[in-house]
Amino acid sequence: MNEILPQMKFGIGASALRKEDDAFVTGSGCYTDDVTGEGVLAGYVLRSFHAHATFRINDVAAARDMPGVHAILTAPDIPEVKPLPCLAPVKQADGSSVPGRDIPVLCTDRVRHVGDAIAFIVAGSLALARDAAEMIDIDFQSLPAASNTADALNDDAPAVYDDGSRNLAFIQEMGDFERTEKAFANADRITEIRIVNNRLVSNYMEPRSCFAFWDEETGKFDVTLGSQGVHRMRDWLASTLGVEPDQVRVRTPDVGGGFGTKVFNYREYALCMVASRLTGKPVKWTGDRTEHFMSDAHGRDNVVTARMAMDKDGKFLAIDVDMIAAMGAYLHGFGPYIPYLGATMTTGLYDIPTMAVRIRGAYTNTVPVDAYRGAGRPEASYLVERLVDRCARDTGLGADEIRRRNFVSPEQLPYTTPGGRMYDTGEFAAHMEDCMKRAGWVQFSERAEQARQSGKVRGIGIATYIEACAFAGSEPAYVSLKPDGDIELRIGTQSNGQGHATAYAQMAADQLGIEYTRIDVRQGDTEELSRGGGTGGSRSIPLGGVSVVKASEALAEKLRKIAADELEASAADIELADGQARIVGTDRVISFADIARSAGDPEDLKADGEFRQKEATYPNGTHVCEVEIDPLTGKTEIVKYTITDDFGVSVNPLLLEGQVHGGVAQGIGQCLNEHTVYDEDGQLLTASFMDYGMPRADNVPGFDFATRNVPSTTNELGIKGAGEAGTIGACPAVMNAVCDALYREYGIEHADMPATPSIVWELINK
C-alpha cells in the first residue's frame, strides 16, 4: 500500500482545511464544562496548603449543615474507592518490580504535596461548596519537605515516606556497563556535561472537568470528561470504584488540548461518580487554572550527568548517563516508565557502539510527574544533542562536522541501537544538509558580525533528533454508509485538537470516492464503540489511519458489489467517485443514498479494518535555530528557525505543519519562559500565569518548515508520526543556539533551561 497516491482533490497528501474548525471559531463546540443536566450539583476539592504534613479532621458537621450542601466526602466515607495505581510495571536494576506509591483519592491522615486532596464538597453551587470547605475544622502538623530534585536523594534530605528509602523510588539500568567502562578506559577524549531538564506544567487551554451521573434504574454511571481515550478511562474508573466496565459509560466531547496529561485517571472523576450515586443527582467538577498547577501531572524534571567517550578523530565510542528523575509525591500512572522510555533513545541518530544508563527515581513533596508531549524522548534528545555540541567544542570540530562523522548511515539501516530500538529508514546527514542550507549556516558569521555592530550577540544552534512513536499495536476502525449517502467512521482514538476529523476523512475519501466533508468521524463514547486505544505517542494516524484505509477499502468493495447488481454490471467495472458508483466509461450511475436503500442486509453497508504494527516508527529531522541576545537586558530573541523533518508520508501537509509549529512553540516555552518553582518548604511559587512564564506570540518566530520524507517500512502506509516531533527537536536547537552565543562572546560554556532574561543577564555579568 506504500504506492497509494492522492486520487482526489482532498485525499491523502492534500492540504485540506480542517472540517472541525467552523464549530470552534463560532463558539459552538461542546466541551465538558458545557455539559449540564437538571439539578446538577457542583463539586469542590479541599486541598492541602501544606507540602508535607500530618492532619486530623476534627469536625465536618458545621459544613454539612450549611444550606445548599448535599454531601461532604472524606477518606473514611469512601472505603470502596481504591487508590489510583501506577500502571507502569517497569523492572528495577535487580529485576524486582518498582514498589508502588499509589495516589489516594482522598488522603487519610497525611498530605505529601501542595494540592493533595483532603475532602470533596458537593453543593448547589460552586460558591456554596467553597464556603462549606472553609468551615471544615482540620488540625495540621507541618513536616519538613523535600522539593529539590537534585538534592532529594541526599542523606540529609527530608523523607517523603518513613520507610528508610531516603526518597529513592527505584533504580533502573540499561545498556552494557562492562563494555562501556572499557570504552571509556581506552578513549582518547572524554567530554562530560551536567544538565537540568526543568519541570513543566501542561497548561492546555481547557482545564480538566468532569460531569457524572448515576442512573439507579440501569445501575450504570454516565461520565463525561476530557480525555485522550474513553476506553482506557472507562476501565480505570471501573477498577477504581470496584464495578464492572459495562457499568460505566464514558463520553469525551471536544477537548481543548491534552499533551499526554489528559491520558490519566484523576481523583476528581471517581469523586464525582461516588457523589452522584450518594446524592442521586448529577455532579460536575471543573478545575480552575491554579488547581491545574496543583493537581494535574507535571512533566520533565530531571537532573543528568552524561559523558561521551571518543577516539582521536571525534568518533563516538560510548555514552554513560546518570539521571535523577523526579517522581513527585506518588508514582503517577506511567511515571516510572517515562525516563525508562527516554533511555531507550539515549544514542539519538548516532552510531554509538555501547551505552550505560542509570536512572534513579526520586520522591519529592511535589505534584507527581508523568507523560508530557514526547514523554521521555524530548529529555533524551535534549541530553544527547547538548552533549554532542559540547563534544564538538572540546574536539575543535564544527557542530555539523561531528554529527556528520557519527551519524548512522543509510547503509547501516535497519540498525539496532544499544537501547534496543530498530531504526528502519532515514537519511540523517541528508536532512541535516538540507536544513543547514536553507538556514544559511555557512553565512552565519556575517550575520553575527552585523548583530555585534548593533550591540547584540548572535548564536546558531543545531539539533538532529529521532524519536520512537506509534508503538507496536493496533487501532481498529469501523465505517458504514448512512441512509443519506454520507459515511460514518468510528474509531477509538481521541482528538485533542490535532484534526482527526479531517485527516481520517481524507484517508477514507481516497478509497470511497466521496468528498471528505461528507465523512462523519465519531470518537469519544464507549457506548458507540466497544474498544479503542486512545491517543498518545503519535499513534493515531500511523495506526488508526491505516485501519481507516483498510476499513474503507472493504466498504468500497461492498458498495461496488451492490452497485453492480443494481446497474447490471460487473463489480470490476464499477468506480466510486463524487458520492456515486459509476460503470467505468459510461454515464450510468447510482448514488450512495440509493445504494443504501438497495442493500438487502444492513451488514452490507458496514466494514471494519485493523492494522497491527509490530514495531515502532521513527520520525527524525534537523532543527536549526538562530538567536540574538541583548546583553543589556539578557533577553533572547529567536530571529530565524528552520526545520527539515522526515515523517515518512505526509497525510495532510497543512495539519502536519501546524503540529510541528505547536510542538516547537512548546519547546521554545521550556527553553526561554516556563519554569515550575517550589521553594525549600515545598510551596509552589508558580501556581498561576502571573508567575509561570507561558510563551507569547512575540517569543515564537515564523518557521521555515520542509519535509524530506523516507517512507517507513514498519508502517503499511509508510507513515512515521508527527505529533510530538516539534517538541523533541526544539529544546536542544534553541539552547544550543543560546549557548553558542554566550560562548562566542563571553566564553560561557553552559546554561540550563529556562534561559530567561534575568538568568542570561546574570550569566553575562558574573
Q: At residue 8, does pLDDT exceed 60?
A: no
Domain match, 621 and 598 both: no
Residue 742 above 70 pLDDT?
Answer: yes
Parent domain of 553: 21-30+473-613
Q: Verify that 666 and 646 share a domain, yes or no.
A: yes
- Rounded to 5 degrees, φ, ψ at 467 are -135, 155
For 685-718, write each residue's pLDDT tens digit.
999 999 999 999 999 999 999 999 999 999 999 9
Considering 613, 629, 659, which residue would you say is the last residue of a domain? 613
633 part of a folded domain? yes
CATH of the domain at 249: 3.90.1170.50
Q: Are 493 and 623 in a shared domain?
A: no
Give a yes or no: residue 153 inside a domain: no
Note the pLDDT of residue 163. Answer: 85
Backbone Cα Rg of the chain: 27
Which residue(s) pair with 249 in the sheet?
A: 222
Per the structure, how many domains does the chain have? 3
Residue 234 has pLDDT above 50, yes or no: yes
3-class state of residue 687 by DSSP: coil
Of 60-74, 77-91, 111-125, 419-433, minimum mean pLDDT range? 77-91
- Residue at 149 is within a domain: no
CB of 70 closer than 8 Å to CB of 123: yes
| 95 shares its domain with 227 | yes
Reported as a pLDDT band with limits 50, 70 and 90, residue 97 is: confident
How far from 275 is each of 32, 69, 487, 529, 634, CA to CA, in Å? Answer: 18, 12, 40, 27, 52
276: in domain = yes
Partners of residue 590 on adjacent β-strands? 581
Grid coordinates given for 352: 554509538
Dihedrals phi, psi of 693, to nearest 5 degrees:
-85, 95
524-533 mean pLDDT: 96
Asked if residue 151 belongs to a domain, the reply is no
* Cα distance between residue 403 and residue 314, in whole Å: 10
Same domain, yes or no, for 91 and 222?
yes
- Let me know if 425 is exposed, middle or buried by CB neighbors in 10 A (0-12, 13-18, 19+): buried
Indicate whether 652 and 754 sit together in one domain. Answer: yes
Residue ending a domain, among 613, 640, 661, is: 613
Which pLDDT tens digit goes with each residue over 668-684?
A: 999 999 999 999 999 99
Please check the confidence at residue 127 and state whether its pLDDT lies above 70.
yes
Q: Is the pLDDT of residue 4 over 60?
A: no
The pLDDT confidence band at residue 9, using thresholds 50, 70 and 90, is: low
Domain with 524 in it: what CATH number? 3.30.365.10
Does the pLDDT at position 461 exceed 70? Answer: yes
Q: Is residue 379 part of a domain?
A: no
Residue 487, pLDDT > 90, answer yes
Shared domain check, 496 and 441: no
What's the confidence (pLDDT) of residue 2?
A: 35
Whether the pLDDT of residue 10 is over 80: the answer is: no
Q: What is the 3-state secondary structure (H, E, C) of 238-273?
A: HHHHCCCHHHEEEECCECCCCCCHHHCCCHHHHHHH
CA terminus-to-terminus distance, the chain:
60
Residues 439 and 575 in one domain: no
pLDDT above 70 covers what percent of the chain? 99
Are the CB atoms for 623 and 664 separated by under 8 Å? yes
Predicted local confidence at residue 725, as pLDDT = 97
Within-domain flag for 401: no
Question: Mean of the pLDDT values across residues 242-259?
Answer: 98
* 306-347: pLDDT as tens digits: 999 999 999 999 999 999 999 999 999 999 999 999 999 999
33-63: pLDDT as tens digits: 999 999 999 999 999 999 999 999 999 999 9
Q: Specify whether 597 is located in the same domain as 482.
A: yes
Helices and strands, number each (H, E), in the chain: 18, 30
Tens-digit pLDDT profile for residues 509-519: 999 999 999 99
pLDDT digits (tens, 9 = 90+) for 156-210: 999 999 988 889 999 999 999 999 999 999 999 999 999 999 999 999 999 999 9
426/619 Cα distance (integer angstroms) = 8
- How far is the C-alpha of 592 from the C-alpha of 598, rounded, in Å? 10
278 in the same domain as 244:
yes
Same domain as 643, residue 552: no
Dist CA 12 CA 487 (whole Å): 17
Is 635 found in the same domain as 488? no
- How much is the pLDDT for 114? 98
Mean pLDDT in residue range 552-566: 97
Q: Which residue has the higher pLDDT, 91 or 324?
A: 324
Residue 205 to residue 470: CA distance in whole angstroms = 25
Residue 264 confidence (pLDDT) above 70: yes
Q: In what order do the strands lie in the sheet with 117-123?
A: 69-73, 117-123, 41-47, 283-286, 209-215, 220-225, 248-251
- What number is the average pLDDT over the span 725-754? 97
Residue 378 phi/psi, 5-degree rounding, is -60, -35
Residue 122: inside a domain: yes
The residue among 288, 321, 345 that closes a domain is 288
Helical ranges in 12-171 per DSSP H = 21-25, 61-64, 126-134
